[in-house]
Structure 1
Amino acid sequence: MKFFSILSASAFIAGAVSGPVSGPIAAPVAGAVVKRDNSNSTEWYRFKIKALTGQYSDFDGIDGKWLRAESNVIGVYDNGLEGNAIQVLLGDGENSEVVSLPTYPVGIVEHALGLVGKNGYLEFQDLTQPSGHNTDDLDHTETYSWKDFALGEPDYDDLRELTWGVKDAIPGWIALPIGDNQWKIKNYDGDAVVIQNYVPVKIMAQRWDHE
């Protein structure tokens, strides 16, 4: 199993998105699907991990595993079995080029996937009542984002890449080991100091026929 850790993003790779992200998020670059009207969407999706090949991959350990929530933290748990995968509905985003990801079942208490953290090192969470969260007091290092996701065009396996912020940012999505066959997912802009081992990954959305 191959992991890597860093003391500075500059030691990882050039091209990382620099600086913390807070407040309004720039629209993802070209390649994201433009959702003009999500108000009556019936598109349900589940998410699986695509490990990146190369010297930093843990291809056998995490590739193809399904994501679910554990104590509201999104990750790979219990070996990432498909039957436990979290399900989301495409919802309205901050603008017409991005979406929100309300989680199933949709009920009285609002739930949606989002990113929360500081200094560009953000935890992927199942948020409760995100629309009621007061973001006015966030400082320039803090992020609370849940309506700024984008899904790419379907690939040859009919999977769509989930992105946030700037598409193809490096590292972007990362998986951190937290136990045997268990990983939690974060989004990392490459700028903050990180000392824990992690592997860069992609998150792929698969259409789910909800009945």
Structure 2
Amino acid sequence: MLPTPARLCLILTASLVLAPSLAPAKGTKAAKDARVYFISPADGETVTGPVIARFGLRNMGVTHAGDDFAGSGHHHLLVDVDETMQAGEEIPRDKKHVHYAAGETEARIELSPGKHTLQLVLGDTRHLNFDPPVISEKIMITVSKPNGGEQEARATRSVSARNRPQIRSVPAEPPAQPEPPPETTKSPESSDFISRVFSGTK
């Protein structure tokens, strides 16, 4: 029987040799040629906030977080993130890493005016990055002020209305009624003459 120190050394050596085969995979295996991408907005586009983003996915399916279906995952949106995602890495949950755990493929995003980078990452049921990572190309968009043009137009109309001279409408006078024609009065002489004519007397 080998002495205790030698036996421990043998066990240690065997564990080191077997460790790579027993080590867990870096992450859930992604389907071959899987691709995630933005349907909209387009790279370089100027948009008015809030931004409506639509996500596309090929060669894999979209499902809810927690649903462990092979070849499927759910979207995560990276906003102004410079770090690269590694296989098997857990995707953070914060303002720059937005999770769409209900299987959404479209989102309404509130972004401050200015330039922003957007990137999509497909995560597995545990919000881990696939192996190899399924990550979109990074796009850059410019967000303009929401309804800026309409607000300026309203302000201009308001100022114009305040500076416009006030004109008061005066009710028009009713049209003058035509005077009735003067009544024709018959003199006593004419009445007497007519009576004599009809009676045959002069």
TM-score band (shorter)?
Answer: under 0.3
Higher strand share: 1
Higher relative contact order, structure no. (Cα contacts within 8 Å, ≥ 6 residues apart): 1
Larger Rg: 2
Higher helix share: 2
